[in-house]
Structure 1
């Protein structure tokens, strides 16, 4: 019997969620999205990395790009930018390859290291999916930042893993309720691609879809 993916949340949503819970809800619950320069540049970078049919061998290392991952325990799914596979006697078997391999996920980001920890949260969720899929342990992974052109090692600690679990659980609860959190004005709002849709300066809270519906009817009545 095929797995039902209807209740799986996108791993990429963890970054939105950490950045702003309302932003996550606007994208993933209300299905609203607006592009800006930053998001377009980010998409371009990921397009250069992703190729789900491509595995490159560099000596004893395999580079698997655009690997789909999922976790039935956490009910999340997504795509790893890159999974590096190193020959290791303590690793796991990989279909179509001889020997055993150790998995090392790498996530590519456009800008500079993230002080809020959203990138590490997303990366840890990917690793937790890989651990479940391959029945293995992944203690470490990496983030590559285009702005500084180097990697940042991320230790996948128990604390980080628990934060992933807690965040995903809260996301599922909001999704089930269909609830969009209230806006909280902050410095990051000016760079958010959803600022016009979100309307964080509104004191009276309504859903973005309801706000847009009212605005449409007001214009239609003129």
Structure 2
């Protein structure tokens, strides 16, 4: 059952922000704030090259689709897969316009190197959940290509990982519907954040509105 209005569908890419910092996600996806730094600019350049729709191709038993629009009406999320590979095999699913059956294999492109946490993996898993709903299939594997290492990291997309995706997006929808931006949880990650100058880097225990009212009063 879909309880989400399509106007309120969340971006798949937001789960990476949310896993990194709930407040960062709120500032970007609720407050519509964004600030570029070297890392975000490099990441955008990589994705622009990957998402070229004219680079779709077919190689024998392999179909490669770039910049593929995906959606999950169950979770109320939408976005794009950098690359989806369809491998022809007997246990696969039909693909419109092509003969045979295919397995579905998403690939996410990232600028850096593998992270110690699961931010990138969660984004890939969210894409897998969408693809499962769209193609009525099971997506159990995918890959993340890191530009720094120039290699794919094969990822097992487990049931536990998909459940975590569902729980995260349920929490995100709760914040989004209330238009509530989570408060600061200061950590070492703040120094890596492109929004550190737009955020309130010190946890004052006050809400954003209280902080602004106090600042205006002091002026």
Could you tell me the TM-score, scaled by structure 1's length? 0.90
- Alignment correspondent of 1:80: 81
Alignment of 1:1-222 (within 5 A): 5-207=6-208, 211=212
Distance 1:160 1:170 in 2: 16
Distance 1:107 1:27 in 2: 21
Between 46-55 and 58-67, report the one with greater CA deviation.
46-55
Distance 2:154 2:129 in 1: 16
Distance 1:156 1:184 in 2: 29
Q: Is the 8 A contact 2:186 2:203 kept in 1?
A: no
Change (3 A) 1:53 1:130: farther
Q: Secondary structure at the match of 2:104?
A: strand
Q: Secondary structure at the match of 2:93?
A: strand
Could you tell me the TM-score, scaled by structure 2's length? 0.92
State the shift of 1:202 in Å.
5.0
Distance 1:23 1:172 in 2: 15
The count of residues paired between Structure 1 and Structure 2 equals: 216
Could you list the per-position Cα deviations for residues 165-210 of structure 1 after superposition, in whole angstroms to 9, with x for gaps in the alignment? 11000000011111111111111111211001102125253338x7
User: Which runs of 5 or more residues in structure 1 are unaligned?
Assistant: none
State the shift of 1:16 in Å.
0.2
Between 176-185 and 22-31, report the one with greater CA deviation.
176-185
State the shift of 1:36 in Å.
0.7
Distance 1:55 1:147 in 2: 24
State the shift of 1:96 in Å.
1.3
Distance 1:48 1:207 in 2: 38
User: Which runs of 5 or more residues in structure 2 are unaligned?
Assistant: none
State the shift of 1:159 in Å.
1.1
Distance 1:214 1:4 in 2: 36
Distance 1:202 1:139 in 2: 40
Distance 1:90 1:138 in 2: 12
State the shift of 1:82 in Å.
0.2
Query: After TM superposition, what 4+ stretches of structure 1 lie above 4 angstroms from structure 2?
Result: none
